[in-house]
């Protein structure tokens, strides 16, 4: 009898548990489904939001981005027809990019984009072509301003503050890569800040040391030069200028604050007025100085004839170690940064190292040539 009672009690407990399980299982399953749907919804919103940011950037900046082209005449010769007279053919080629900074037709690009002789043209976002009326090249940076005459007001970009740029932030590059694909857009991040690079090639007309540039992994190719590097707010924070040879996704841009300073200079003077010493140099880093038992500073490779440096007696092979009381150190921007803080006409004290001796000289800074 007792065994029967125990079995009945066990059966009742089992039936009670089964009833409770059957009652609450649908609700638990529904909660699980809702949680999964919410997670999927959040993920979808995050992805769509990132896409929409890029789309918004492109829609904002594209009307202000231009292509720079050059018109040249080439001689067409047929080597298999000696009786055919050579013919001169006009050829147009897209060579770089740029962006509008003032609605009256002022456009910023790289100096090396418009560094050769030829008739330049600007092609706007709506495929209209304009002849370049004048070019102003900044001798201290790889920057140039080109002026066109437009019958309609152009849309200028909004310039940001490159001093607030952070490594890892989203950026977009816009331009005409390879001189073929106008208005191309690439996306990436800021990979590094304060880089120092030598832009150009010793086999070409353009070789220049650029300090404090922005590194990005947004794809930049020949033809992108002069185009804008843009932050997530659609503000230009840099001018795309170079790509590391033999590498992938390593591009560089000149900070926009340098451009803003250059534009301010241009608007005040109608050109680029900068102090000029007149030396071509290579920075000797601390490590290189220790290895070669040399002082740290700027090694003079060439002195421009008739320049302030030549008049002061600076010679090839000298090492400039102090400039107006400031140590010339590569990590602090080198000689160019110190000179850039001076004014035309300033007389400065220069300490140089020559033949294992230090010499003190003075130089009066000239106006940099508009080359």
| Catalytic-residue membership of 161 | no
* Phi/psi of residue 183, nearest 5 degrees: 70, 25
Q: Which of 64, 97, 184, 225 is catalytic?
A: 225
* Tokens coding 212: 């404090």
Q: What's the CA gap between 223 and 175, in Å, rounded?
A: 7
Q: What's the CA gap between 324 and 316, in Å, rounded?
A: 20
Half-sphere exposure of 197 (CA within 13 A, CB side): 23
Q: Which of 138, 142, 211, 318 is catalytic?
A: 142
CA 209 vs CA 32, 172, 212, 337, 340: distances in Å? 60, 25, 10, 12, 14
| Catalytic-residue membership of 125 | no
| Catalytic-residue membership of 217 | no
Say if residues 204 and 61 touch (Cβ distance below 8 Å). Answer: no
Q: Which of 112, 162, 191, 307 is catalytic?
A: 112
* Phi/psi of residue 41, nearest 5 degrees: -65, -45
* Tokens coding 363: 């130089």
Active site residues: 112, 142, 225
């Amino acid at each position: 009898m007792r065994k029967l009672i125990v079995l009945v009690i066990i059966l009742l407990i089992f039936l009670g548990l089964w009833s409770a399980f059957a009652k609450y299982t649908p609700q638990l399953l529904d909660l699980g489904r809702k949680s999964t749907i919410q997670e999927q919804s959040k993920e979808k919103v995050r992805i769509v939001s990132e896409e929409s940011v890029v789309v918004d950037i492109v829609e904002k900046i594209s009307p202000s981005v231009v292509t720079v082209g050059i018109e040249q005449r080439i001689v067409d010769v047929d080597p298999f027809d000696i009786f055919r007279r050579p013919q001169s053919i006009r050829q147009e080629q897209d060579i770089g990019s740029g962006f509008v900074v003032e609605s009256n037709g002022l456009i910023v690009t790289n100096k090396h984009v418009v560094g050769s002789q030829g008739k330049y043209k600007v092609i706007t976002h709506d495929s209209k072509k304009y002849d370049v009326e004048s070019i102003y090249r900044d001798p201290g940076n790889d920057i140039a301003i080109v002026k066109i005459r437009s019958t309609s007001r152009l849309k200028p970009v909004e310039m940001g503050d490159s001093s607030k740029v952070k490594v890892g932030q989203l950026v977009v590059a816009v331009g005409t890569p390879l001189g073929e694909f106008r208005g191309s857009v690439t996306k990436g991040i800021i990979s590094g800040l304060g880089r120092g690079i030598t832009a150009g090639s010793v086999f070409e007309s353009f070789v220049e040391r650029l300090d404090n540039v922005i590194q990005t992994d947004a794809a930049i190719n020949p033809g992108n030069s002069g185009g804008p590097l843009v932050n997530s707010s659609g503000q230009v924070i840099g001018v795309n200028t170079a790509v590391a040879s033999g590498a992938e996704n390593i591009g560089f841009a000149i900070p926009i604050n340098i451009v803003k300073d250059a534009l301010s200079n241009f608007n005040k003077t109608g050109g680029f007025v900068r102090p000029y010493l007149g030396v071509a140099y290579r920075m000797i880093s601390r490590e290189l100085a220790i290895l070669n038992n040399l002082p740290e500073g700027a090694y003079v490779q060439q002195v421009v004839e008739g320049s302030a440096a030549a008049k002061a007696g600076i010679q090839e092979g000298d090492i400039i170690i102090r400039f107006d009381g400031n140590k010339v150190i590569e990590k602090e921007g080198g000689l160019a940064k110190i000179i850039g803080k001076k004014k035309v006409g300033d007389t400065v004290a220069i300490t140089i190292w020559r033949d294992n001796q230090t010499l003190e000289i003075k130089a009066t800074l000239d106006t940099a040539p508009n080359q």
